[in-house]
Chain A
Amino acid sequence: MLHVRGLTVGFGGEPVLEGIDLDARAGEFVSMIGPSGSGKTSVLRAVTGLLRPQAGVVELDVDADHVAFLFQDDALLPWRTARQNVSLGMRIRGVPVGEAEVRADEWLASLGLAGFGERYPRQLSGGQRKRVAIAQVLALEPRLLLMDEPFAALDAIVRARLTEELLAWVEREHLTVLLVTHDLEEAITVSDVVYVLSQGPRATVKARHEVAIERPRHLLDSRRHPAFAPLMTRLWDDLAEELSPGVHTADDDGRG
């Protein structure tokens, strides 16, 4: 589905990432963890074409139309209603406005926002805005879903619920997912494969771990699985080596 080979990304100076290899097979849920400033987000941005790599290739087995990106913040268009925001991607793909809006309402309803179509983003809570952003992305019926710490800004309960809903969705649609996260627990509970990036600049893939927990996943069950604790320890060790004293972390915006 997705093959990244020798990806090097920089912004003029020293590369942030260097020689990243990463694969996501069809239907696989892949997570990337790493210290702040390791350029995890840059991998996603290179995959979507928002960022032009200095070197390396990104191969996709699907059309670019089938790739969707769920961002960290829920920057919806403030001057468009929830319905208009959700239908935007469909309209861009040539779906007639009327049909796109009907489908947008269905998506909102399936995410628990029936009747919220007329609201503007300012009139929604953080969790509701996130749901609109998810509807906007899922409405494109993507095959590959890229997510950049999508629930980082939400409180724990909303976060858990949305994660469960999204997992169910991924399972039902056999989506391939590439998730960037700071949260080691989350990485293990949701994914089949976890990549650990090293400290940047010139961050590389430090380790690749398969998660030996069968799908479908549930947040709590996964945590009680015998494979959970040992892998958690491995990931901690991986990261601890990267964050050992003397190594300074870069700016904590997750983008560097």
Chain B
Amino acid sequence: MAGARARVRVIRRVVAFVTVLGTWEVLSRVGWLDPFYAPAPTAVVRVIASLFGDPGFWTHLQATFVAALAGLLGGLVLGVLLGFGAALSPLLADLLEPVMIMLNAIPRVILAPLFVIWLGIDLASKVALALILVTVLIFFAVYGGIKEVDQRLVERVRTLGGGRRELIREVYVPSVTAWVMGNLKIAVGFAFTGAVVGEFVASSRGLGYLLQFAQSTYNAALTIALIVLIMAFVLVLFALAERLERRLLRWRYEA
């Protein structure tokens, strides 16, 4: 029955989606919608196709992906290290916690201009922005995750004779993995936010740069095309993140 319910839900969503796009297309064609503001879906598709046909587009694509993925990986590593460090060392916790709480409270993209001043308009400033967005997220996942580790498991391992090393290997690392994996999709989104916003602020390449260009030339079709593309890329990465999560957290998903 659950399967039937899920199928009904998918059908409803597809129907709604197609209806909205179809209406939009029709309204555009009969001239009720101004293509300057809302170009028809087919026009947007044509722009997307032409983007992929343009060899220059691939350098933009590459720039954004490199910045996002470098920021994502760096942020994961740094967040895990700092989170573990803070959980294990009270000194580090005292130093890091206020900084992280502050960084968590502000919209971190406001740091973008500063990174441009410090690191220039090239890749480094985009990586830095993506990295700081991801690091803060993962730091709290790891730090909070370790503090909330099931104490019963800690006691089990201790009564079996385990010391610090066994506790880290058998209890802390697996439970932190679960916390990080739970946040991985959000981290992917953050990494792209960092990269694209960084490019938007100041750059000579990237999807964010193209967006900035499209906006300054009042090219709505290109703007929508880029938004759709970025969404599609993030969704693909979401799917990959989910596969990774199911693999690493087999114990949670295996039937």
Q: Is B truly associated with A?
A: yes
Q: A-side interface residues toward B, CB under 8 Å?
A: 48, 50, 64-65, 68-69, 71, 73, 75-81, 88-89, 92-93, 120-123, 136, 140
- Contact at B156–A75, with CB atoms within 8 Å? yes
Whether B156 lies near A65 (C-beta < 8 A) is no
Tell me which residues across on chain B come within 8 A of A81, comparing CB atoms.
251
Q: How far is the CA of A92 from the CA of B159 in the complex (A)?
A: 11
> Which of the residues A75, A79, A92, A123 comes within 8 Å of B160, measured between beta carbons?
A92
Query: Quick one: CB contact mask for B135-157 with A, threshold 8 Å, 1 for yes?
Result: 00000000000000010110111
Tell me, rounded to whole Å, the shortest Cβ–Cβ distance linking B26 to chain A.
51
Chain B residues near A89 (CB, 8 Å)?
A: 160-161
Chain B residues positioned under 8 Å from A75 (CB to CB): 150, 152-153, 156
Q: Check B161 against A65 for contact (C-beta < 8 Å).
A: yes
Report whether B160 and A136 are in contact in the complex, using a CB–CB cutoff of 8 Å: yes
Cα separation A71 to B174 with both chains bound (whole Å): 22
Set of chain B residues within 8 Å of A71, measured between Cβ atoms: 152, 155-156
Verify A88–B159 contact, CB threshold 8 A.
no
Partner pick for B159 among A68, A73, A120, CB 8 A cutoff: A68
Given contacts A71-B152, A120-B254, A123-B254, contact A77 B170 (CB under 8 A): yes
Shortest C-beta distance, B158 to chain A (Å), equals: 7
Of residues A48, A89, A92, A136, which shows the largest number of chain B Cβ atoms within 10 Å of its Cβ? A92
B interface secondary structure, majority: helix
Q: Would A92 and B251 count as touching, CB distance under 8 A?
A: no
Are A80 and B170 neighbours in the complex by a CB distance under 8 Å? yes
CB of A48 within 8 A of CB of B159, answer yes
> Contacts of B162 on A, CB cut-off 8 Å?
88, 92
Q: In the bound complex, do residue A50 and residue B159 qualify as a contact, i.e. CB atoms below 8 Å apart?
A: yes
The 7 closest A-B pairs by CB, nearest first: A89-B160, A75-B152, A79-B174, A120-B251, A69-B159, A79-B251, A92-B161
- Can you name 8 A-B pairs with beta carbons within 8 Å? A75-B150, A77-B157, A79-B178, A80-B251, A89-B161, A92-B160, A120-B250, A122-B254
Interface membership of B34, Cβ < 8 A: no
Which of chain B's residues has its CB closest to A89's CB? B160
Closest to A76 in B: B156
Cα A120 to Cα B170 with chains together (Å)? 14
Q: Which residues of B contact A93 (CB under 8 A)?
A: 161
For the complex, give the distance between the alpha carbons of A121 and B175 in Å: 15
Judging by beta carbons under 8 Å apart, are A78 and B157 in contact?
no
Rounded to whole Å, the gap between the CB of A95 and the closest CB of chain B is 12
- When distances are taken between beta carbons in the complex, the residues of chain B under 8 Å from A73 are 152
Chain A residues within an 8 Å CB radius of B159: 48, 50, 68-69
Identify which of residues 176-206 in chain B touch chain A, using a CB-to-CB cut-off of 8 Å. 177-178
Other-chain residue from B155, B166, B252 in contact with A92 (beta carbon distance below 8 A): B166
Contacts of B178 in A (CB 8 A): 79
Return chain A residues, CB-CB under 8 Å to B160: 88-89, 92, 136, 140
Q: Is B171 an interface residue (CB 8 A)?
A: yes
Which residues of A sit under 8 angstroms from B156, Cβ to Cβ?
A: 71, 75-77
Contacts of B170 in A (CB 8 A): 77, 80, 88
Distance A218 CA – B156 CA, assembled complex (angstroms): 30
Chain B residues with CB under 8 Å of A50's CB are 155, 158-159
Nearest chain B CB to A255 CB, angstrom units: 12
CB distance from B156 to the nearest CB of A (A): 6
Q: Which residue of B lies closest to A140 (CB)?
A: B160
Rounded to whole Å, the gap between the CB of A106 and the closest CB of chain B is 18
Seed contacts A50-B155, A50-B158, A80-B170; 20 additional CB < 8 Å A-B pairs: A64-B161, A65-B161, A68-B159, A71-B155, A75-B150, A75-B156, A77-B153, A77-B157, A78-B251, A79-B177, A79-B178, A80-B174, A80-B251, A88-B157, A88-B160, A89-B160, A89-B161, A92-B162, A120-B251, A140-B161
B254 closest partner in A (C-beta) = A120
Bound complex: CA A81 to CA B178 (Å): 16
Closest approach, in angstroms, between the C-beta of B244 and any C-beta of chain A? Answer: 15
The listed residue (A48, A68, A77, A123) touching B171 by CB distance below 8 A is A77
Query: Interface digits, B227-255 against A, CB 8 Å rule (1 contact, 0 not)?
Result: 00000000000000000000001111011
A160 to B217 Cα, complex, angstroms: 80
> Which residue of chain B has its CB nearest to the CB of A94?
B161
Complex Cα–Cα for A75 and B175 (A)? 14
| Chain A residues with CB under 8 A of B254 | 120, 122-123
- What A residues does B153 contact at CB under 8 A? 75, 77
Q: How far is the CB of B107 from chain A (nearest CB, A)?
A: 35
| B155 to chain A: closest residue by CB | A50
